[in-house]
Amino acid sequence: MGKILITGSSGQLGSYLIENIPESIGVDLKASQYTQLVWDLRKNPEEILRNYEIDTIIHAAAQVSVVKSVEVPKFDAENNIMGTINLLEYARKHDVEHFIYISSAAVYGEPKYLPIDEEHPTEPESPYGLSKLTGEKYALLYHKLYGIKVASVRPFNIFSPRQDPQNPYSGVISIFVERAKKGLSLIIYGDGEQTRDFVNKEDVVQLIKLVIEKEATGIYNCATGKETSINELARIIKELSQKSIEIIHDRPRKGDIRRSYASIEKAKKLGYWPKTNLREDIKYYFF
């Protein structure tokens, strides 16, 4: 029986996938306890995989910063598009049965309607969103041309204890928590009524495991189907910190999406049922 290759195994999602999926092999640019193979996917992976029989690839490796993608779009494309093509070529040549592409809700851009389903127009507003959509389209084309089973999972706002609050590109939850623990004010850009669909790492792993188990193909949103305002998030974290910290509103950020939450009806047909409880999860993960 072949192995499951998980790319981006030192990252937030990849590391949890390694822990939860038996018979998996981790590959990443960075060495870590979750990574057996250190490799740059911008190069042909044949060399490092020659001794392995791979029947499933979960492609979670990516340049994930929207800000960096705007600053250096070529770097973003080299990682997210060329890295994906290199893996797809390996899958085609070595008869890999199932290719699971970890996409992003960034492919949708500004919502035209809510909740956002998988048929929603894809009009990304950053090079990152565009590169993730391009990688996804390449993967789905390889399904059509070469018969590789391809599924694309589009997570919304993932959170977990492995988010790095020191990283300026990290998620709002880890940034708020880190500031709250230090007794610092929580800074909200704009009026705070913008909403997001926050999904914990267990639910993302749950859906990916269902996709493997069901040998599913096609596109699946991974979220909770619920929207939470940034104001509400800040109030929850302030309360959990048990500190008298301020919540400050600053100027809105240009291009900030106003409201976002997903339809998860398609994922539910695979047996997916989100267990995310924002307050309890943040309390358990961070406090």
- Number of compact structural domains in the chain: 2
Model confidence at 67: pLDDT above 90: no
Res 168 pLDDT > 80: no
> Where residue 241 sits, what CATH number does that domain have?
3.90.25.10
Which domain, by its residues, includes 171? Answer: 164-195+227-257+266-286
Mean pLDDT of 177-184: 96
Same domain, 76 and 27: yes
128 has catalytic annotation: yes
- pLDDT > 90? residue 8: yes
Query: Does 165 score more than 80 pLDDT?
Result: no
pLDDT score at 10? 96
Are 145 and 279 in the same domain?
A: no
Residues 239-267 have pLDDT tens digits of 999 999 999 999 998 878 899 999 999 99
Residues 47 and 105 in one domain: yes
Here the tokens at position 127 are 């090079």
Does residue 23 sit in the same domain as residue 141? yes
Same domain? For 120 and 213 the reply is yes
Sign of CA dihedral 125, 128, 129, 130: positive
CA distance 91 to 84: 10
Query: By percentage, how much of the chain surpasses pLDDT 90?
Result: 92
3-state SS assignment for residue 228: strand
- Same-domain status, 15 and 128: yes
Q: Which of 101, 128, 142, 220 is an active site residue?
A: 128
Q: Could you count the other beta carbons within 10 Å of the beta carbon of residue 35?
A: 23
Nearest to 223 by CA among 209, 250, 204, 208: 204
- Both 213 and 279 in one domain: the answer is no
**pTM here?**
0.96
Encode pLDDT of 90-143 as tens digits.
999 999 999 999 999 999 999 999 999 999 999 999 999 999 999 999 999 999
Task: Say whether pLDDT at 281 is over 90.
Answer: yes
Q: 153 with 169, same domain?
A: no
Q: Is 102 within 8 Å of 109 (Cβ atoms)?
A: no
182-195 pLDDT tens trace? 999 999 999 999 99
Same domain, 125 and 206: yes
Q: Tell whether 172 and 111 lie within a shared domain.
A: no
- Taking the C-alpha atoms of residue 206 and residue 214, their distance in angstroms, rounded to an integer, is 12
Looking at the fold, whether 278 and 249 belong to one and the same domain comes out as yes
**What's the CATH code of the domain at 79?**
3.40.50.720
Segment (H or E) for 3: strand 3-7
Structure tokens at 125: 């507003």
Does residue 280 have a pLDDT over 80?
Answer: yes
Query: From CA 142, how far away is CA 217, in angstroms rounded?
Result: 12
Can you give the pLDDT at residue 167? 66
